[in-house]
Structure 1
Amino acid sequence: MKLKNLSFSKLWVLGVFVFFACGEDDPTPPMMDTSFYATQLGGETMVPDPDNPGQMVEQGFLNLRTVVTNTVLEIASNEGGTYNDLQPYFSVLLNEVGRNELSGFTTLVQDFTIFLAEATGAQNFQYTGLNMAEAHNSTNPRMNGLINDADYDLFIQAVVAGAAEAGITSPEVLGPVGDLLESVREPIVQRPDGENLDLYTRLGGSGLVEDPDNPGTLIEAGYLPLRAVVTSTVLVIATNEGGKYDNLQPYFTVLLNEVGAGDTSGFTTLVGGFSDFLAANIGSTNIEYNGLNMRDAHDPTVNSRMTGLITAEDYDLFVQAVVEGALENNVPESIIGEFGALLNSEGLRDAIIQA
């Protein structure tokens, strides 16, 4: 009986040993990575990073990054005006690059590449940026305007061109990438077809440019033409060539006397305040108007710089001066028409015209 038990024990131990020995000799095959990232883009194979000498990068990530970089450069270079309609959205980025500030460019390329890498099956990258809806509306200070379907189609066209420049033209690759971009169309496209971009974005948006009136400082590109038009408007009224604006002179008595005495502080304040008002009302997300409301600003009992109540005829003459100021700055007639619509809006006219 003891011998039988001993023999069984030996056999059991031998069986266990053989089982584990076989496990070591014949390990379970690893799961194959069948993701698009692995099968079509190069996957996790490590290769030298051409943009960072001495470093390695996953082949799949490198291919995606090359396409993204080419896409952004395709839009930025805008050869032949192909991507004119996309330029306003990139106001911040394009003006940074124009000043040789590349941090925003690098961040955009990196974030978009990581987004694509994760979406195509990469295991070592995780997108942690804004969701697609927030990334493409005014909650993102680097975004100007809301995208419509036509402009999103144009962006996809730029991606295809960027891929072709990288030597990627196979439908097996472009098709799934196109499907991926289509899958996020809904949160990205936030402006209905037929609705214009906001006027501030079309004037240049929030991208920063050198301020010609203040060397060494920057100013939003969209604010610059507004300030130029307002400055010209005040000057055409003040110079009053041919007596065209005789009827407006009394309202500007305080200002004109200050300027005549060499004091331009009131002039600067007026130009800044009116420019801020326009910017805030045509789509600026960074500039606020903090002055008097329009009724109080044009009521002599509230605003000591105002002399007399404005009539409808004189307000029309003021709008005419704004048009002249805009024409002096080569503002397109279509844009002038939109300014006119704002200035002649019922609420604004009712607040300003008090006589």
Structure 2
Amino acid sequence: MGQTMKMFMAGLAFVMLAACNDDQKMDMIPEIDDSFYAELFGGEVRVSDPDNPGQQVEQGYLNLRTVVINTVMEIATNDGGAYDDLQPYFSVLLSEVGRGETSGFTTLVSDFTDLLAQATGAKNFTYGGLSMADAHDPAKNPRMNGLVNDSDYDLFIQAVVAGAAQAGITSQAVIGPVGELLESLRGPIVQRGAGEQLDLYTRLGGSGLIEDPDREGALVEVGYLALRQVVTSTVLVIATNQGGKYDDLQPYFSVLLAEVGGGNFSGFQQLVKDFSDFLAANIGSQNIGYGGMNMADAHNPVANARMTGRITAEDYDLFVEAVVEGALENGVPMEVILEFGAILNSSGLRGAIIQA
């Protein structure tokens, strides 16, 4: 128990002891509410709700909600890049708000405020969301991108403190208990070690949805769009074959090139989709799986009629070079390209694809 909490509890115990030992004052002293919600945040006093005209809200809940809204906005606006490291976790939310959809924002604010209200002693609010462990596990919460580490959780607490300050709440008597509450949740929330990176899919943009530039009226995950652009560029780099750089790869794509030459792009689109799906499924996507042929069959002319010839190690290296070129065309950072290279050059994948 922190020093602030100890001092508060000691003071509370003193007041309760004094009241209980003086029968003559019992009727004059109101019942002591020993929750932080009542003592420090305003409690159940009803006040006008500034965000919902004509409605009232408990003062304690309003104060907590204001802090939560300020915290989310502090992270979202990210002035000076102070919260760059938190942006990936909020990919879904930021993408929604970016296209004018605020239901996710409203739900997040409500859930986080309910959690704080219940934890600080509110009697009329109950948190009914996921457990903290599940809420911060992308495998169990599709709105979460990436696993949180200690340093990023510290940065989140910093955002909460900043959000509280914007609401005029700077007293250590208030900030202290809230900080201790957040610290008590560190265990289930922090699920990534200090030396572990965020998964590659999250770093490419994750599962936040944006308008698909290639499909009018459709939405696409930010991370998937980044992959699809690289894959598309890779195929085009090979197909255009400027300077004859990829002459040795042309025979493998003879079926595809003939189709495109005849104005049929269905095979091209399917190849881009399959390769993008394969990459997404292997770098951390929770929503996109690969449903195509296994890599050995896909590159075996006997099993795949669209494949002509068995790939050599030299030609596979040339293909990886084309992927790098496609990634560079799309501004992918070199450190990410190197990670892609490690995946493409993994022994299992190379072993399945190289068959000559």
TM-score, scaled relative to structure 2: 0.91
Match of 2:253 in 1: 252
Distance 2:175 2:336 in 1: 39
2:65 aligned partner = 65
2:251 maps to a residue whose letter is P
Report what 1:44 is aligned to.
44
Matched ranges for 1:89-104 at <5 A: 89-104=89-104
Rounded Cα–Cα distance in structure 2 between residues aligned with 1:303 and 1:257: 17
Distance 2:111 2:98 in 1: 21
In the alignment, structure 1 segments of 5+ residues that lack a partner are 1-25
Alignment partners' CA distance in 2, 1:335 and 1:215: 29
**1: distance between equivalents of 2:27 and 2:120?**
29
Structure 2 equivalent of residue 13 of structure 1: none
Ranges in structure 2 where 5+ consecutive residues have no aligned partner? 1-25
Structure 1 residues 1-355: aligned runs within 5 Å: 31-138=31-138, 139-355=140-356
List per-residue Cα deviations over 1:198-257 (Å, max 9, x = no partner).
000000000000111112110000001100000000001001011100100000010000
| SS, match of residue 214 in structure 1 | coil
What is the CA distance between 1:273 and its match in structure 2? 0.3
Q: Distance in 2 between matches of 1:298 and 1:261?
A: 24
Q: Runs in 1 of length 4+ with deviation above 3 angstroms?
A: 26-31
Residue 30 of structure 1, CA deviation: 6.0
Q: Residues of 1 paired with 2:306 and 2:263: CA distance?
A: 17
Deviation per CA, 1:2-39, whole angstroms, max 9, x where unpaired? xxxxxxxxxxxxxxxxxxxxxxxx97976321211111
Q: Which amino acid aligns with 2:204?
A: L
The equivalent residue for 2:8 is none
Residue 86 of structure 1 aligns to which amino acid in structure 2? L
Larger Rg: 1
Q: Deviations over 1:121-158 (max 9, x none)?
A: 11111111000000000200100000000000000000
**What's the counterpart of residue 5 of structure 1?**
none
Match of 1:15 in 2: none
CA distance in 1, matches of 2:74, 2:27: 49
What is the CA–CA distance in structure 2 between the aligned matches of 1:125 and 1:216, rounded to whole Å?
39
Can you list the C-alpha shifts for 1:146-181, whole angstroms capped at 9, x where unaligned?
000000000000000000000000011101100000
Partner Cα separation in structure 1 for residue 324 and residue 194 of structure 2: 29
Q: What TM-score, normalized to structure 1?
A: 0.92
> Could you say what secondary structure the match of 1:222 adopts?
helix
SS in 2 for 1:176: helix
Letter in 1 for 2:172: P
Question: Secondary structure of 1:57's match?
Answer: strand
**Aligned-partner SS, 2:57:** strand
Aligned equivalents of 1:272 and 1:329: distance in 2? 17
Change in 2 beyond 3 A, CA 1:28/1:170: closer
Matched positions, count: 330
